[in-house]
Amino acid sequence: MNKNRLEYYKGNIYLCGFMASGKSTLAKTLATRMEREDCDLDEVIVEKEGKSIREIFDENGEVYFREKEREYLLELTREFKGIVSLGGGALHNQHIVDHLKVSGLLVFVDTSLEVISERVFNNSERPILFDKEGKIKTKETLFTELKTLYLEREDLYKQAQIHIKTQLYNSVNEMADGLIAKISRHV
Ligand code: S3P
């Protein structure tokens, strides 16, 4: 690894991937290792809107959430320097993918749907867990819906310059090391 080149790399590193894939935890560890700032797009939205993600979905609707998600992400690409963890739906279209790849490196955090579905089912405030009446969906319904959504988004995630399969690592520290090795081959 060429340590100097990595130290001099000033572009942002964007972590994308499906919900509950471990992007935020990895972003924090990576930021510590690389001695850079980290930022979570969902947290920015919550802070700026003064509501939880679920409240925004319930009170303002998904279209509003996506509009804000896009606005704050574009703002981050201009004003923030460091590691950015994106929400699972933040790659809205080809234009955003192209923009992120020019503004920095896009990393796809690839976690299996089985693991994701368990995480969302067992410990989640994520809107997809709830039906129209606010009741928790069955495991089977949740898995089917997650799979459909994943297949719709997969093509955009896969355009990332770097892919990291989380199941190949035993800990987030190992994963961060693996990712740093991959990043250093790109800068
Ligand atoms: C979403 C993913 C969430 C959050 C919102 C919508 C999605 O972020 O932005 O609940 O549509 O995939 P995480 O990927 O951090 O869970």
Q: Report the distance separating Cα 90 and Cα 120, nearest Å.
A: 18
How far apart are the CA of 23 and the centre of ligand 1, in A? 11
Written as one letter, the residue type at 9 is Y
DSSP H helical ranges for 61-171? 62-79, 94-103, 113-122, 139-157
Q: CA–CA distance from 151 to each of 1, 5, 25, 104, 145 (Å)?
A: 34, 36, 24, 25, 10
pLDDT of the residue at 30: 97
- Ligand 1 within 6 A of CB of 15: no
pLDDT of the residue at 100: 98
Blockwise average pLDDT, block size 10, the chain, 187 residues: 70 97 97 95 98 95 97 97 97 97 97 97 91 94 97 98 97 97 92
pLDDT of the residue at 4: 63
Nearest to 19 by CA among 69, 85, 88: 88
Q: Which of 19, 60, 84 to mutate to test the pocket of ligand 1 (most atoms within 8 A of CB)?
A: 19
In the three-class reduction of DSSP (H, G, I as helix; E, B as strand; rest coil), residue 91 is classed as: coil
pTM across the whole model: 0.95
pLDDT of the residue at 161: 98
pLDDT of the residue at 1: 43
User: β-strands 83-85, 38-40: how paired?
Assistant: parallel
